[in-house]
Amino acid sequence: MKKIAILAFASAACLLGSAHAQQMDATFGFNAVHATSASQASSGYSPQSIGGGLTPSVGADFLIRHNFGVGAELSWRGSQNEYVIPGTGQTVPFRPFFYDFNGIWLPHLSVSNRVAPELMAGIGGENTRFYVAPSCGSGCQNYATSNHFMGHFGGGLRFYMTHNLFVRPEAHVYLIHNNNEFSSPYATRFGASIGYTLGGR
């Protein structure tokens, strides 16, 4: 499913490029993921939080018509965390990745052309890698993955430092389907990104 989603976005990007998108933006940021703690796990979910740790992110978007467009994001935990295997007390390192494809809206503010709100909503997935062995030699995959479909809602406020360069404080909500390896089906991401705009504003 992940490969299909990536292919779909790549195809959309090519079509948008040929349609002369009004504006293109690229971002890189640092965030923190917050989620239900292990001690407050929802019924039917494992007592393990997916939150914590520094979470870098990258993203890009294209405005198609006026202030509406499409975009994609990828964020991941910068360092591995320890997953406690239920009923055993044993641990295994893991690292979560979140990717999403969104419709975006940048409503126009008449008070200033240096401030731009940004709203987004879409779908994507949570990909968690569980590292099952410290090393397994060349050409060997030393992790197992768990994939879950998710919904995504987010928003931020762009502050343009120059005509093209902006800083964006932001917040995101993930609604993760069947996220039973962790304490609940919800996670949030807060942080800030640095972005660059190409094209008209």
| Bridging pattern class, strands 81-84 and 115-131 | unpaired
pLDDT at 139: 65
Indicate the DSSP class of residue 42.
P
pLDDT at 4: 42
Q: Enumerate residue ranges in the chain where pLDDT < 70.
A: 1-21, 110, 133-140, 200-201
pLDDT at 138: 63
- Contacts (Cβ under 8 Å, ≥6 apart) of 181: 46, 48, 83, 128, 146
CB 76 within 8 Å of CB 96: yes
How many independent structural domains does the chain possess? 1
pLDDT at 183: 96
In this predicted model, what pLDDT tens digit does every residue of 82-104 receive, in sequence order? 998 877 878 999 999 999 999 99
Which CATH number do you get for residue 86?
2.40.160.20
* CB burial string 39-54: b at 16+ within 10 A, e below: eebeeebbebbbbebe
pLDDT at 5: 46
Domain that holds residue 96: 2-199
